[in-house]
Amino acid sequence: MQNTREPNFQAKLAAAGKAVELIESGMNVGLGTGSTASIAIDLIGQKVAREALKIVAVPTSDHTATQALALKIPLTTIEAVGRLDITIDGADQVELKTLSLIKGLGGALVREKIVAFATDKYVIVVDQSKIAEGLGNLVPVPVEIIRFGWSSTCKHLETLGCQLTMRKGADGELYVSDGGNLIADCFFASLSQPVSLEKAINNIAGVVDCGLFLGLNPLVVIGSAGGARVFPGGRL
């Protein structure tokens, strides 16, 4: 179970609880990564056990796969099911007016994006701290890059106008994703043209993908200590 003493725990729980209400028997479910998604996964596990719910799930990280298996949530692959009915995932920043997201501070952005684009109902669970007026004000754009020639890939990324920091793990060494790649956290002074920026980033040799999640039209569930609200309203 999660760290219930974390300051935003109640808000995350409220968002996760509202999202998990959308899961029904027979669904193929995408499972996100991060602390809020992890609360949702715990709740899904409880629902599977309590209601004998028949679902299969695609995890977006090794960590999520381990959690789901411990909860006896059956796992599958996109290849086996074709598409997913619903995915519940967290985000690092949400711009409500465009429903654009920044994701990947948890390091799972590539699998998260593949799962998002294979999903019919994409549900993002966040607390209010993730809601921002403009993209990029609060967090960097994580960019996953392959190891070969990574310093050259970083120089090319910097020509796009960012301050770049290579992500490190708790051991102080370069962070390695589940896919065996590195992550460059890129702070851009302005993210006013995210669509062209995403294209420019992803065009650089050595880049696997970046944490700009655009055009996915998510349902955003914003939790608070008092409950959860859904944005855009009326779409639940």
CB 125 within 8 A of CB 19: yes
The rounded distance, in Å, linking the Cα atoms of 121 and 1 is 26
Region of 19-27, 67-75, 106-114, 220-228 interacting with ligand 5RP (CB under 6 A): 106-114
Name the minimum Å distance from CB 159 to ligand 5RP.
25
Region of 51-59, 89-97, 154-162, 169-177 interacting with ligand 5RP (CB under 6 A): 89-97
Instruction: Choose the catalytic residue: 24, 95, 112, 158.
Output: 112
Q: Is 107 in the site for ligand 5RP (CB under 6 A)?
A: yes
What single DSSP character describes residue 36? Answer: H
> In a 3-state reduction of DSSP, which class is residue 67?
helix
Contacts of 12 (CB under 8 A, 6+ apart): 2, 6, 35, 36, 39, 125, 127, 223
Q: Is 34 in the site for ligand 5RP (CB under 6 A)?
A: yes
Q: Is 32 in the site for ligand 5RP (CB under 6 A)?
A: yes
Does residue 112 carry a catalytic annotation?
A: yes
Minimum CB distance to ligand 5RP smaller for 7 or for 82 = 7
Considering only residues 14, 23, 33, 42, which one is a binding residue for ligand 5RP as defined by CB under 6 A?
33
> In a 3-state reduction of DSSP, which class is residue 75?
strand
Read off φ and ψ for residue 9, nearest 5 degrees: -60, -45
Count of residues touching ligand 5RP (by CB under 6 A): 18
Name the minimum Å distance from CB 59 to ligand 5RP.
12
Measuring CA to CA, which residue among 112, 86, 115 is closest to residue 27?
A: 86
Binding site for ligand 5RP (CB under 6 A): 32-37, 89-92, 103-109, 112
